[in-house]
Homo-oligomer: A and B are copies of this chain.
């Protein structure tokens, strides 16, 4: 026998049961996107490497899957190219195309390419797989789905409020307990400015983030190492020790950074977004978290990150405001704000907590047992009528042993087994067995649609 076939590491097959679960997640997110007025687009799996390269940093360039040119791929390659040892340069000659690495760069490319056909503000959503040549590990795959919603062409903070509301809606539907952490890049800039270390935003944010894990003394030691002055460290202290309600924390930060114009703008934005969200009413917790720095060099305003409360898994959704989505493609001045639901992480959360609805388990509603040619013909007609009435049904295709067919019905999790045996065939009846409670009744074949609907 040939070697058992396998799939590339970091990729997955999804069985019918897994697909039912994943569809439940994707359908929930997709329905919410539509309800909120986001409109779907799709872009090709393959993009030109010129579109992708240089957008994700040097490390990202390496993690792109590149597609070997078709035909004579050595055409433009010289011996010098090969001997130079310059793999990136050689790659460029061997490959023109790469696989999508995220949905943001293709979206930016889409907006620029189709800008004459797009109504602004453009609320788009996109649910497609992306590919990264990352080292596979638990919870990290080389092929995984992203579910992105973005608004471009509007500076209004109502977009941020709406995105928080969207997160609240989706997480409530999926019954995942979460805390939505929010921050604003301008506040982080303001803090750095206010303590006289405007160029050390990253170091300061990392320090704030670590306070719970390593304590104030270790954080301060690290800050010293990074070259922060003693007076800066002293002035940062109240922020590191921040507690209380969101509005208390915002007020405390505001007091410290009152001299920073941009910082105070950040405070004002944060208050507007939180007030707007509160006025809609919501089920999920939301928390102002000045340590949140997700994609620091990318986001320019609000930053959002969602953490599941009942599973240790890190961020399951995140996003924020960026001011120059399409600048790299030559169109500047387009502000946007968006979030990305991590469908694969959400899948892991729902699996861990078994939060799936009961009805996902089965295949068809009614399975008809096959008692041989004539009976099967009558059964097939009933099955066909049920389907026309919108009731999923199937006939076991072979006249196998009844026990085997019943085992199949059990394994598939069908709700009803319908039997048209010799007796029923003669009388134009059918015996319906409810697989949940084991009850049985014999009815006329024409009544099946009413009974099984």
A residues contacting B by CB (< 8 A) are 1-8, 11-16, 19-20, 22-23, 34-37, 39-48, 50-51, 62-63, 65-68, 70, 72-74, 82, 87, 90-91, 94-97, 99, 109-110, 112-114, 117, 119, 121, 123-124, 129, 131, 133, 142-143, 151, 154-156, 158-159, 161-162, 165, 169, 276, 279-281, 328-331, 363-364, 367, 370, 376-377, 380-381, 384, 387-388, 390-398, 408, 411-412
Instruction: Please give the distance in Å from A263's CB to the nearest CB on chain B.
Output: 23
Q: Which residues of B contact A20 (CB under 8 A)?
A: 40
Give me 13 A-to-B residue pairs in the complex whose CB atoms sit less than 8 angstroms apart, sorted by A's number.
A6-B113, A8-B48, A13-B41, A13-B42, A15-B117, A20-B40, A37-B393, A37-B394, A46-B65, A46-B131, A94-B94, A119-B412, A121-B398
A384 engages B41 (CB within 8 Å)? no
Instruction: Please give the distance in Å from A405's CB to the nearest CB on chain B.
Output: 11
B66 engages A68 (CB within 8 Å)? yes
SS of A interface (majority):
mixed
In the A-B complex, the 10 residue pairs with the closest CB atoms: A37-B394, A2-B330, A11-B44, A16-B39, A156-B397, A1-B330, A70-B133, A19-B40, A37-B364, A154-B397
Across the interface, A41 reaches (CB within 8 A) one of B14, B48, B67, namely B14
Across the interface, A119 reaches (CB within 8 A) one of B45, B109, B408, namely B408
A158 engages B62 (CB within 8 Å)? no
Q: Which residues of B contact A155 (CB under 8 A)?
A: 398
A70 engages B62 (CB within 8 Å)? yes
Q: Which residues of B contact A67 (CB under 8 A)?
A: 65-68, 99
B384 engages A165 (CB within 8 Å)? yes
Instruction: Please give the distance in Å from A145's CB to the nearest CB on chain B.
Output: 10
Across the interface, A5 reaches (CB within 8 A) one of B82, B90, B113, namely B113
Across the interface, A380 reaches (CB within 8 A) one of B22, B40, B161, namely B161
B23 engages A40 (CB within 8 Å)? yes
A35 engages B68 (CB within 8 Å)? no
CA distance A377 to B281 in the complex (A): 12
Given contacts A36-B392, A377-B279, contact A96 B44 (CB under 8 A): no
B151 engages A397 (CB within 8 Å)? yes
CA distance A61 to B161 in the complex (A): 51
Q: Which residues of B contact A392 (CB under 8 A)?
A: 34-37
A94 engages B68 (CB within 8 Å)? yes
Oligomeric state, in copies = 2
A280 engages B397 (CB within 8 Å)? no
CA distance A43 to B5 in the complex (A): 13
Given contacts A131-B45, A280-B380, contact A95 B68 (CB under 8 A): yes
Across the interface, A68 reaches (CB within 8 A) one of B68, B158, B390, namely B68
Given contacts A67-B68, A408-B119, contact A6 B398 (CB under 8 A): no
A62 (CB) vs chain B CBs: closest residue: B70
CA distance A131 to B39 in the complex (A): 26
A384 (CB) vs chain B CBs: closest residue: B280
Instruction: Please give the distance in Å from A452's CB to the nearest CB on chain B.
Output: 13
Q: Which residues of B contact A36 (CB under 8 A)?
A: 387, 392, 394
Instruction: Please give the distance in Å from A368's CB to the nearest CB on chain B.
Output: 10
A46 engages B143 (CB within 8 Å)? yes
A110 (CB) vs chain B CBs: closest residue: B13
Q: Which residues of B contact A279 (CB under 8 A)?
A: 377, 380-381
Instruction: Please give the distance in Å from A18's CB to the nearest CB on chain B.
Output: 8
A392 (CB) vs chain B CBs: closest residue: B35
A166 (CB) vs chain B CBs: closest residue: B387
- Interface core residue of A16, A50, A63, A370 (most chain B CB under 10 Å): A16
A122 (CB) vs chain B CBs: closest residue: B16
Across the interface, A97 reaches (CB within 8 A) one of B8, B280, B281, B331, namely B8
A13 engages B44 (CB within 8 Å)? yes
Q: Which residues of B contact A133 (CB under 8 A)?
A: 70
Q: Which residues of B contact A398 (CB under 8 A)?
A: 121, 154-156
A5 engages B131 (CB within 8 Å)? no
A16 engages B43 (CB within 8 Å)? no
A94 (CB) vs chain B CBs: closest residue: B68
Q: Which residues of B contact A328 (CB under 8 A)?
A: 2
